[in-house]
Chains A and B, each alone.
Chain A
Amino acid sequence: MTLWARFRSWLGATLRRSRMESEMDTELRFHMEAYAQDLVRSGVPQHEAIRQAQIEFGGIERVKEEGREARGVTLAESLVQDLRYGVRMFVKNPGFTAAAVIALAVGIGANTALFSVVNGVLLRPLPYRDPSRLVVVSLLNQKTQETFPLCDADFLDWRAQNQAFTDVSAFSGNRFNLTGAGVPEQVMGDVVTAEFFSTLSVKPALGRTLLPDEDRPGSPHLVVLSYNFWQRRYGSNPGVIGQTLVLNGSSSTVIGVMPPRFLPSPETALWTNLVMDPPTFRGPYYLTGQARLKPGVTIEQGRAELGIIAHRIEQQNPLTNSNMSFRVTPLEEAIVGDVRPSLLVLLGAVAFVLLIASANVANLLLARAATREKEVSIRAALGASRARLTRQLLTESVLLAAIGGSLGLLLARWGVKLLLELGPGNLPRFEEIAIDGRVLGFTCLISLASGILFGLVPAVQSGRSDLNKSLKKGGRNAADGQGRSRARSILVVAEIALSVVLLAGAGLMLKSFLRLQAVNPGVNPDNALTMQISLPQQLYHDDGQLISFYQHLLEKVQTLPGVESAGVGMSLPPNLLEVTDYFTVEGQGAVSERMLGLADLVFASPDYFRALGVPLIKGRYFVAADRADTAKVAIVNRTLARHYWPNENPIGKRLKTGGTERPKNPWMEVVGIVGDIKYSGLDAAPEMVLYEPYQQAAWSSMYLVVRTSSKLDDPASLTSAVQNAVWSLDKDLPVAHIRTMKQLLSESVEQPRFRTVLLEMFALTALSLATVGIYGVLAYSVSQRRHEIGIRMALGAKRSDVVRQVVGQGMVLTSIGVGIGVTGAFALTRFLSRLLYGVRPTDPAIFVFVPLLMSCAALLACYVPARRATRVDPMVALRYE
C-alpha cells in the first residue's frame, strides 16, 4: 500500500471522525444483535441471548479503542491529547515545572555549548580536499622522544628522495613588519615552500598561489594574503593583486588571496615564498614539513619511507643526526591533538552533569507520580492499557525535556559566547565554533534521550502499581510504594556517585593548576613590561646597525621616568622560546657526538637579567664592555652548569655553538651562571640555556623588558612612553605583543585554566544538584511518614532519635553513593593523567577530601528535613489520619 493511500485513510478517518464513530457503533451493534438472534433461534431466551452476546463479544469500548488505533487515528490524536494534558499539568504545578525545566535547561545548555566547541574543533573536517591524507612531518630524537622542526637540508633531502607523497612542502611561522602605505604593523604569517598550497589543495579566492619553482634561489618575493587580512587591511579590494607590499623591508608582490577559513589560525595574515639557498650545514631548525599521501599509500608506508630517508641522513651526518628520525603525524592530529584530551574530558564531565540533572527530574517525577497514583489507577480502571499510560507519562516527560532543551539552546548561545571569551585565545579552529545543524541535532537528541531516560523510571513504576490497592487507599496517604521509594533511592545514589567522580576530577585539575601556578618561573613577575620589536633586514642589514639600534633604544628607555632597568633578549619566559641550537663544550664534546648538547640560545643585553629579575649565582652579568671586538663571552644557566661541570667551577670554561660542521664558530668563555628560567612553558622540565651578549651576537628580532619602579601601580602605564622611544628612533617600526610579565605568565596557562574553571563549574553544579536530590528524597520521605513519626513521638521517642533516624537514612544512601563514586573515580581519573601537572590521578588528598565534601553537603541536606520531622506534632499527625 502506498504511503499516499495510507495517509488518505488516516486523513479521512481523522476528518470524518464522528461519522466513523457512529459507523463503528452501528457495525458492532449489528454484530451483537445478529448473534443474539441466532442464539434465540437456537432456543436461548431473549434477555439471556443479549447478555450472552455481550459477554462473548468482549469489552466494547476496548474493541472500539483498538479499532481506532488500527485505523491510525488514535496515535496522532492521543498525542495531541497527551500534550494538552501535559501542558495543563505543568501549568497547574508551576514549582515542579520550573525546577525540572531549569535543571534540564542548565544540563542541556551546558552540553550544547560544549558540544559546539567540540564540533567546531574536533568534528568538522578541515577545509581541505581529503584532509585525512595530509600529514605533518617533524624531526624526532628517538632517544629522548623529543620532536624538533626540520632544517632546510632535511626538507631538501626528503623532497629529493620522496616516493610516498604527492606534494612535499614546508612552512614556518614568522612575524612580518608590514610598512609602506598605512600604519606600520606587525602581522603573523608563514614562509612556505612552493608546493604548500597544492599540498592542501585549496584554490585561492582571488589571483593565484605559488608556482612549483617559486621557492628556488633567485625567485622574486611574492605574497598571498589571508581572507581576513585582505578584508581588514585592504577593505576587500580586488585591486590589491599585483600591488607591492613592503614586508620586513623588502618589496613583495601580492599574487593572491586565500578563501576564508583556510588555516586553523585566524591570526595568520599572509604567506610568502620561502626562497631556499643550497644549505652548507644542517640548521637552523625551523620548518614544519607538510605532505599529502599518494592515493593507496598508507601513513605507515609513508612513515617507513621517511624512516629510510632519515637513516640515510643519519649515516651521512652522524654528528648532528644520530638517533634522528622523522615523526609523521596526521594533520588533523597535529592541529587539534593538544586540545582533544581536554575537550573530551570536559564533554564527559558535562554529560555527567546532564545525567545528574535527569536523575533529579526523574526524582521529581517520581514524587509527583505518587500524588498522581489515584488518577492513573482510575484511568487504568476505565480501560486505558498499560502501554497507553506509559505513553502518556513519556509524552509528558519528553515535553518537559523539549521545553528544557529549547531553553537550554538559548542558554547555549550565550554559553558558547562565554566559552569563547573564557577560552584560550590559542584554541585551534576557534573560528569554526558555532551552533550549526549538527549542534541542533545533538541538542534534540540529548533532549529526547534525557526525556525518555528520566520519564521511563516513573512510567515503568506506575505501570507496576497495583490498581486495586491504590484505589482502596482512596488517594489519601497514597504512600510511596516500595518499588517507587527504592527507585528514588537508587537515583540519589547514582547522583551522588556521579558527583563524586566529577568532584574528584575537578579536585585533581584544581590541584594541578595550583601546582602549575606555583611553579617558579625564575623571574620576578612584578613591575615588568615587555614588548616585541623586529628590525627589518632590508634596512638593518648588518650587525652594527642592529646593535646600535638596540643600544640607542635601551639608553633612551633607561632614562624614562619610572624605569629602573631595561634590557633586550631574543626569548622571553615563560614560553616565548625562539631559538635552540647545538653547542660543544671544550674538552667534552668535540670528539664524542653524543656529548653535543642542545640548549635554548638567548642573545641578551646586560640588563636583560636585571630587568627580568634573574638571580646571578656566580660570576657576572654581561657588561657594556662585552663588545664585538672584545673576547667572546657567555653566561649559562644553572642546569647547564651542573650538567657539564658538576664538580668544577664553570667560570672560565669554554664552549661554542655548533659542532665540527661549523668550525668557524668561536669559543666563548663562561663568565657567569644565572638561575634557571622557564622558556618552554611552566610545566616544562628544566632546560639548558646558553646566553650570549647581544653586542657579540646580533639578532634582528628582540623582546624588550622594562622593569618599572615599584612606586608605579601598573607597569603598563609606561607603554606609550616606551613606544614613543621606539618611534623616535624609527617611526616605521611596529611594536608588538605588549604585555606585562604577569600577563605573560597568566596567558601561558590559559588552556589549563580554561579546562580547570569549566570542570570546577561542572563539579559544583553536580554537587548542588546531588545535594538538592538527596534533600528532596528525604523531605518527601519525612512528609510521607508524618503519621509514623507522630506515633513514635507519642510513644516517647526523643527528638534526637527521630533526627538520627532520618539523617541515618540519608547518610546510608550517601555512603553507598560515595563508595561507588570513589571506585568510579579511581577507574576514570587516569584519563586525566595527560592533563595533570605534578599530581597523580589517584592523589590521596583529593580522594580523602572529595568524599568528605560530598558527605558534609549531604549531611546538611539531610539535617533540614530531619529537623522538620521533629516538629511533627503527634496530635496533629494522628488526627490527620
Chain B
Amino acid sequence: MDKQLDLLQGTLDMLILKAVSLGPLHGYGVLLRIQQISKDRLEIQQGSLYPALYRLEHQGWITSEWGESENKRKAKYYRLTAAGRRKLQTETENWNRMANVMAGILGTKSEEV
C-alpha cells in the first residue's frame, strides 16, 4: 500500500460532500466510505470529521436526522441537500480545473519554456 497522504487544506469538506452524495451515511459511515473510495490512500483524523460535518450542516450543504444503524443502534444520518449538490458540482469543476492547471504547470519541461 502507498504511503497515506495528509489531506490538503479544505479538501475534507469536499470528500464529505462526495461521500454523502452517494447515499445517507452516519459519521462513522462517512469515514469508512471515504477510506473505501480513496482505497485507503488518505489519512483522516477521525475526530476532525465531526467539526467538519457540523460546519457543513450549519452552512446548509448537508442535513441530518436520527435513524437506526445496521446493528440496530441509534445513529445520526447525514444526506446532501439540493444546495449541497450544487456546491459539490461547482467545487468539483473548480477542483478539476485547478488540478489541470497545476498538472500543466508542474509538467512543464525546460524546452517548453
For chain A residues 39-96, which have a beta carbon within 8 Å of chain B? 56-60, 62-63, 66-67, 69-72
- Max count, chain B CB within 10 A of own CB: residue among A27, A58, A66, A67: A27
How far apart are the CA atoms of A851 and B26 in the complex, in Å? 72
Interface assignment of B99: CB less than 8 Å from any CB of chain A: no
Interface stretch, picked from A1-9, A136-144, A189-197, A505-513, is A1-9
Interface stretch, picked from A30-38, A263-271, A746-754, is A30-38
Chain A residues within an 8 Å CB radius of B26: 27, 30-31
Chain A residues within an 8 Å CB radius of B47: 57-60, 62-63
Q: How far, in Å, is A843 (CB) from chain B's closest CB?
A: 60
Instruction: Check if B46 sits within 8 Å of A58, measured CB to CB.
Output: yes
Interface assignment of A736: CB less than 8 Å from any CB of chain B: no
Interface assignment of A864: CB less than 8 Å from any CB of chain B: no
Q: How far, in Å, is A565 (CB) from chain B's closest CB?
A: 91
Interface stretch, picked from B14-22, B73-81, B103-111, is B73-81
Which of A23, A35, A71 is in CB contact (< 8 Å) with B46?
A35
For chain B residues 42-98, which have a beta carbon within 8 Å of chain A? 45-48, 50-52, 54-55, 57-60, 69, 71, 73-76, 83
Chain A residues within an 8 Å CB radius of B74: 26, 30
Chain B residues within an 8 Å CB radius of A832: none
Q: How far, in Å, is A1 (CB) from chain B's closest CB?
A: 4
Instruction: Check if A71 sits within 8 Å of B69, measured CB to CB.
Output: no
Chain A residues within an 8 Å CB radius of B50: 24, 27-28, 31, 63, 66-67
Given contacts A9-B58, A31-B27, A71-B58, contact A1 B51 (CB under 8 A): no
Over the window 27-48 of chain B, the binary record of Cβ atoms lying under 8 Å from chain A Cβ atoms (1 yes, 0 no) is 1100100000000000001111
Instruction: Check if A71 sits within 8 Å of B27, measured CB to CB.
Output: no
Instruction: Check if A67 sits within 8 Å of B51, measured CB to CB.
Output: yes
How far apart are the CA atoms of A262 and B103 in the complex, in Å? 69
Instruction: Check if A58 sits within 8 Å of B48, measured CB to CB.
Output: yes
Instruction: Check if B54 sits within 8 Å of A71, measured CB to CB.
Output: yes
Instruction: Check if A30 sits within 8 Å of B51, measured CB to CB.
Output: no
Chain B residues within an 8 Å CB radius of A9: 57-58, 60
Chain B residues within an 8 Å CB radius of A27: 26-27, 50, 75-76
Instruction: Check if B52 sits within 8 Å of A34, measured CB to CB.
Output: no
Instruction: Check if B28 sits within 8 Å of A1, measured CB to CB.
Output: no
Q: How far, in Å, is A48 (CB) from chain B's closest CB?
A: 17
Chain B residues within an 8 Å CB radius of A70: 51-52, 54-55, 58
Considering the complex, give the chain B residue whose CB is closest to the CB of A66.
Answer: B51
Instruction: Check if A57 sits within 8 Å of B51, measured CB to CB.
Output: no
Given contacts A59-B47, A67-B51, contact A30 B58 (CB under 8 A): no
How far apart are the CA atoms of A72 and B54 in the complex, in Å? 10
Chain A residues within an 8 Å CB radius of B55: 70-71
Chain A residues within an 8 Å CB radius of B59: 1, 6
Considering the complex, give the chain B residue whose CB is closest to the CB of A58.
Answer: B47
How far apart are the CA atoms of A69 and B50 in the complex, in Å? 11
How far apart are the CA atoms of A63 and B51 in the complex, in Å? 7
Considering the complex, give the chain A residue whose CB is closest to the CB of B75.
Answer: A30
Give the size range of A's interface with the partner. Answer: 20 to 34
Given contacts A6-B58, A26-B74, A70-B58, contact A34 B28 (CB under 8 A): yes
Chain A residues within an 8 Å CB radius of B73: 30, 33-34
A interface, over-half SS: helix
Given contacts A28-B50, A30-B74, A69-B51, contact A58 B28 (CB under 8 A): no
Chain B residues within an 8 Å CB radius of A37: 71
Considering the complex, give the chain B residue whose CB is closest to the CB of A35.
Answer: B28
Considering the complex, give the chain B residue whose CB is closest to the CB of A2.
Answer: B60
How far apart are the CA atoms of A327 and B1 in the complex, in Å? 86
Instruction: Check if B58 sits within 8 Å of A58, measured CB to CB.
Output: no
Chain B residues within an 8 Å CB radius of A24: 50
Given contacts A5-B60, A35-B28, contact A58 B45 (CB under 8 A): yes
Q: How far, in Å, is B43 (CB) from chain A's closest CB?
A: 11
Which of A33, A60, A72 is in CB contact (< 8 Å) with B58?
A72
For chain A residues 380-405, which have a beta carbon within 8 Å of chain B? none
For chain A residues 5-28, which have a beta carbon within 8 Å of chain B? 5-6, 9, 23-24, 26-28
Chain B residues within an 8 Å CB radius of A23: 76
Instruction: Check if B60 sits within 8 Å of A34, measured CB to CB.
Output: no
Considering the complex, give the chain A residue whose CB is closest to the CB of B54.
Answer: A70
Chain B residues within an 8 Å CB radius of A63: 47-48, 50-51
Considering the complex, give the chain B residue whose CB is closest to the CB of A33.
Answer: B73
Instruction: Check if A30 sits within 8 Å of B28, measured CB to CB.
Output: yes
Chain B residues within an 8 Å CB radius of A59: 47
Q: How far, in Å, is B30 (CB) from chain A's closest CB?
A: 10
How far apart are the CA atoms of A1 and B69 in the complex, in Å? 30
Chain A residues within an 8 Å CB radius of B48: 58, 63
Q: How far, in Å, is B107 (CB) from chain A's closest CB?
A: 37
How far apart are the CA atoms of A546 and B27 in the complex, in Å? 105
Chain A residues within an 8 Å CB radius of B71: 37
How far apart are the CA atoms of A63 and B54 in the complex, in Å? 11
Instruction: Check if B54 sits within 8 Å of A67, measured CB to CB.
Output: yes
How far apart are the CA atoms of A832 and B93 in the complex, in Å? 62
- Max count, chain B CB within 10 A of own CB: residue among A23, A24, A31, A35: A31
Chain B residues within an 8 Å CB radius of A69: 51
How far apart are the CA atoms of A9 and B59 in the complex, in Å? 9
Considering the complex, give the chain A residue whose CB is closest to the CB of B83.
Answer: A1
Chain B residues within an 8 Å CB radius of A56: 46
Chain A residues within an 8 Å CB radius of B58: 6, 9, 70-72
How far apart are the CA atoms of A63 and B28 in the complex, in Å? 15
Q: How far, in Å, is A561 (CB) from chain B's closest CB?
A: 92
Over the window 407-420 of chain A, the binary record of Cβ atoms lying under 8 Å from chain B Cβ atoms (1 yes, 0 no) is 00000000000000
Instruction: Check if A1 sits within 8 Å of B46, measured CB to CB.
Output: no
Considering the complex, give the chain B residue whose CB is closest to the CB of A20.
Answer: B54
Q: How far, in Å, is B97 (CB) from chain A's closest CB?
A: 24
How far apart are the CA atoms of A539 and B42 in the complex, in Å? 106
For chain A residues 757-778, which have a beta carbon within 8 Å of chain B? none
Instruction: Check if A57 sits within 8 Å of B27, measured CB to CB.
Output: no
Instruction: Check if A57 sits within 8 Å of B60, measured CB to CB.
Output: no
How far apart are the CA atoms of A28 and B53 in the complex, in Å? 12
Q: How far, in Å, is A250 (CB) from chain B's closest CB?
A: 80
- Max count, chain A CB within 10 A of own CB: residue among B57, B58, B71, B83: B58
Q: How far, in Å, is A848 (CB) from chain B's closest CB?
A: 60
How far apart are the CA atoms of A466 and B16 in the complex, in Å? 37
Chain A residues within an 8 Å CB radius of B54: 67, 70-71
Instruction: Check if B28 sits within 8 Å of A31, measured CB to CB.
Output: yes
Q: How far, in Å, is A186 (CB) from chain B's closest CB?
A: 74
Considering the complex, give the chain A residue whose CB is closest to the CB of B76.
Answer: A27
Chain A residues within an 8 Å CB radius of B75: 27, 30
How far apart are the CA atoms of A24 and B31 in the complex, in Å? 17
Q: How far, in Å, is B54 (CB) from chain A's closest CB?
A: 4
Chain B residues within an 8 Å CB radius of A57: 46-47
Considering the complex, give the chain A residue whose CB is closest to the CB of B30.
Answer: A31
How far apart are the CA atoms of A194 and B48 in the complex, in Å? 79
For chain A residues 763-810, which have a beta carbon within 8 Å of chain B? none
Q: How far, in Å, is A12 (CB) from chain B's closest CB?
A: 10
How far apart are the CA atoms of A55 and B48 in the complex, in Å? 13
How far apart are the CA atoms of A558 and B47 in the complex, in Å? 103
How far apart are the CA atoms of A58 and B75 in the complex, in Å? 20
How far apart are the CA atoms of A35 and B69 in the complex, in Å? 13
Q: How far, in Å, is B32 (CB) from chain A's closest CB?
A: 8
Q: How far, in Å, is A35 (CB) from chain B's closest CB?
A: 6
- Max count, chain B CB within 10 A of own CB: residue among A9, A59, A67: A67
Considering the complex, give the chain A residue whose CB is closest to the CB of B52.
Answer: A70
Chain A residues within an 8 Å CB radius of B51: 63, 66-67, 69-70
In the complex, 15 of the A-B residue pairs with CB atoms within 8 angstroms, ordered by the A residue number, are A5-B60, A23-B76, A24-B50, A27-B75, A27-B76, A28-B50, A30-B75, A30-B76, A37-B71, A58-B47, A63-B50, A66-B50, A66-B51, A71-B54, A71-B55
Would you list the 3 A-B pairs with minimal beta carbon distance, nearest first?
A58-B47, A66-B51, A1-B60
Given contacts A30-B26, A71-B54, A71-B55, 19 further A-B pairs with CB under 8 A are: A6-B60, A9-B57, A9-B58, A26-B74, A28-B50, A30-B28, A30-B73, A31-B28, A35-B46, A58-B45, A60-B47, A63-B47, A66-B51, A67-B50, A67-B51, A67-B54, A69-B51, A70-B52, A70-B55
